[in-house]
Amino acid sequence: AQSVAQPEDQVNVAEGNPLTVKCTYSVSGNPYLFWYVQYPNRGLQFLLKYITGDNLVKGSYGFEAEFNKSQTSFHLKKPSALVSDSALYFCAVRPLGGQNFVFGPGTRLSVLP
């Protein structure tokens, strides 16, 4: 069965510090990998994706993620966190050739001033 894990319910980081939000997945074959952000009472916004190629993917708002095939991970990172980055973050996978997306449970990021 396909699954996505985000092992941390909550991540707290001080403004200006680097942040990491973790994601690991279990899916057969080579998946497409995504990160989304959700602000309160809003829809999800796409941040970045990995399809193929360079393992380090750069996305919106200074976020990046690193695909690690051997560890089946796709951690989200940002070198310097902003208070405005505080939100709910979702990792998702889409199996190659599949129509559906499998989402992780979400990680709430709080950036403290």
Q: Which is nearer to other proteins, 13 or 107 (CB)?
A: 107
Q: Given the complex with other proteins, which of 70 and 99 has the nearer CB atom?
A: 99
Determine if 5 is a binding residue for other proteins (CB under 8 A).
no
Binding to other proteins (CB under 8 A): which residues in 27-86?
A: 32, 34, 36, 40-46, 49, 51
Which span sits near other proteins by CB under 8 A: 13-21, 65-73, 74-82, 91-99? Answer: 91-99
C-alpha closest to that of 36 among 24, 26, 28, 44 = 44
Closer residue to other proteins in complex, CB, 107/111: 107
Q: Which of 78-100 are b and which e, b meaning 16 or more Cβ less than 10 Å from the residue's Cβ?
A: beebeeebbbbbbbbbbbeeeee
CA distance 65 to 49: 8
